[in-house]
Structure 1
Amino acid sequence: MAEKGSSIPGPRPSRIIGNLKQICPKAHITWTEWCQRYGPVCRVNLGPMGDSILLGNIDVLRRAFEESPEIFSGRFVLPIVKKDGAVGTMTWENDAVYDQRRQLLSTVMKQVDLDKLAQNEAIAVCDVLSEKGDTSSDLVYRLIEEANLSMISTFCFRREQRCPYDDPKFKELKNRVTKMNHKLKNLMGEKANLFPVLWAPFYKDFRKKRKNLRCLVSKELDAHKENLDSSNIRDLIDGYLGKADGIEFPENDCPWHIMNLMGSTITLKNAIQWIILLITKHPEIQTKVQEEVSSVFVDRAPTTDDVDKLPYTNATIYETLRIACPAAQVVPHMTQKDVNFDGFDVKSGTVVFGNIWGLHHDKNHWEEPEKFNPDRFLDSNGQLDIDKESFVPFGLGKRRCPGETYAKKAMFMFVTNIYQRYGFEAVDGETLPDVDEGVINVGLHNPPPYKLKIVPRN
Structure 2
Amino acid sequence: MADGSDEDKRVIPGPRPAARLGNLKDIKPKAHLSWTEWCAEYGPVCRVDLGPLGDSVLLGNFDVIRKAFEDNSDAFSARFVLPIAEKDGTRGTMTWENNEVFDKRRELLTTVMKQVDIEKLARNEATAICEVLNKNKDSSSDLVYRLMEEANLNMISTFCFRREQRCPYDDPNFCELKKRIGEMNKKLKNLMAEPANLFPVLWVFYFGFRRARKNLRCLVGKELETHKETLDATSVRDLMDGYLTKAGGIEFPAEECLANIMNLMGATITLKNTFQWLLLLITKHPEVQTKIQDEVTSVFGDDTPTMANVDKLPYTNATIYETLRFACPATQFVPHATQADAKFEGYDIKKDTVVFANIWGPHRDAKYWDEPEKFNPDRFLDSEGKLDLNKESYIPFGLGKRRCPGETYAKNAMFIFLANIYQRYGFQAVAGETLPDVADGVINIGLHNPPPYNLKIVVR
Q: Name the TM tier (shorter chain).
A: over 0.9
Which residue of the other structure, out of 260, 267, 276, is the alignment partner of 1:257? 260
Give yes or no for the alignment of 1:17 onto 2:56. no
1:151-170 superposed matches below 5 A: 151-170=155-174
3-state secondary structure, aligned to 2:382: coil
Q: In the TM superposition, what whole-angstrom CA distance separates every residue of 1:406-456 from its partner, at most 9, and x where no partner exists?
A: 100000001001100000000011100001111122221111110000000
Secondary structure (helix, strand or coil) at the match of 2:48 reads: strand
Structure 1 residues 359 and 4, CA gap change in structure 2 (3 angstroms):
farther
Structure-1 residue corresponding to 2:59: 55
Residue pair 2:315, 2:377 contacting (<8 A) in 1 also: yes
Match of 1:35 in 2: 39
How far apart are 1:46 and its partner, in Å? 1.2
- The more displaced of 83-92 and 145-154 is 83-92
- 1:356 Cα deviation after fit: 0.4
In 1, distance between residues paired with 2:93 and 2:185? 17
Deviations 1:302-346 (A, max 9, x none): 001111000111111111010001111000000011111011100
Match of 1:103 among 95, 107, 118: 107
Within-5 A mapping of 1:6-155: 6-155=10-159
1:370 corresponds to which residue?
373
Q: Do the aligned partners of residues 412 and 189 (structure 1) sit closer, same or farther apart at CA in structure 2, a change above 3 Å counting?
A: same
Give the match for residue 408 of structure 2: 405
Partner Cα distance (2:60, 2:362) in 1: 7
| Contact in 2 for aligned 1:5/1:343 (Cα 8 Å) | yes
Structure 2 residue identity aligned to 1:76: F
Tell me the number of residue pairs that the alignment of Structure 1 and Structure 2 aligns. Answer: 455
SS class of match (1:429): coil
Aligned-partner SS, 1:155: helix
Secondary structure of 1:252's counterpart equals helix
- What letter matches 2:194 in structure 1? E
Matched, 1:219 2:222: yes
SS in 2 for 1:289: helix
Over the aligned positions, Cα root-mean-square deviation in angstroms equals: 1.1
Choose which of 271, 284, 307 in structure 1 pairs with 2:274: 271
Deviations 1:331-380 (A, max 9, x none): 00000111110111000111111100001000111111010011100000
* Structure 1 residue 14: Cα displacement: 2.0
Q: CA deviation at 1:87?
A: 4.0
| Matched residue, 1:455 | 458
Question: 1 CA distance for matches of 2:24 and 2:266?
Answer: 23
Distance 2:19 2:88 in 1: 27
Letter of the 1:454 counterpart: I
**For residues 85 and 371 of structure 1, what CA distance do their matches in structure 2 show?**
42
Q: Return the alpha-carbon distance in structure 2 between the equivalents of residues 56 and 184 of structure 1.
A: 27
Cα drift, residue 297 of structure 1: 1.1
Q: For residues 360-399 of structure 1, what are the structure 2 equivalents within 5 Å? A: 360-399=363-402
User: Matched residues in 1 for 2:159 and 2:183: separation?
Assistant: 22
Unaligned runs of 5+ in 2: 1-5
1:321 to 1:186, Cα distance in 2 relative to 1, 3 A: same
Describe the superposition over 1:127-168 as per-residue Cα deviations: whole angstroms up to 9, x where unpaired: 110111121110000000000000010000000111110100
Please say if residues 280 and 424 of structure 1, whose CA atoms lie closer than 8 Å, have aligned partners that are also in contact. Answer: yes
Aligned CA distance change for structure 1 residues 43 and 456 (closer, same or farther; 3 Å): same
Aligned with 1:172 (options 158, 173, 176): 176
The offset of 1:17, in angstroms, is 2.2
**Partner Cα separation in structure 1 for residue 221 and residue 285 of structure 2:** 45
CA shift, 1:82, in A, is: 0.3
Q: Matches of 2:300 and 2:200 in 1, distance apart?
A: 55
* Whole-angstrom distance in 2 between the partners of 1:279 and 1:346: 43
Q: Separation in 1 of the partners of 2:29 and 2:384?
A: 42
- For the 8 Å contact 2:91–2:256, the answer to whether it is kept is no
Q: Secondary structure at the match of 1:293?
A: helix
Segments of 4+ moved more than 6 angstroms: none
Percent identity over the alignment is: 71
Cross-structure match for 1:310: 313
- Counterpart-to-counterpart distance in 2, 1:123 and 1:246: 35
State the match for 1:343 in structure 2.
Answer: 346
Matches within 5 A, 1:178-193: 178-193=182-197
**TM-score with structure 2 length normalisation?**
0.97
Instruction: Structure 1: state its 5+ residue gaps.
Output: none
**CA–CA distance in structure 2, aligned partners of residues 392 and 445 of structure 1:** 15
Call closer, same or farther: CA 1:87–1:192 in 2, change over 3 Å: farther
Deviation (angstroms), 1:3 = 7.2
Q: Distance in 2 between matches of 1:453 and 1:106?
A: 39
2:3 maps to none
Give the whole-Å Cα distance in 2 for the aligned partners of 1:154 and 1:81: 25
What is the CA–CA distance in structure 2 between the aligned matches of 1:40 and 1:166, rounded to whole Å?
49
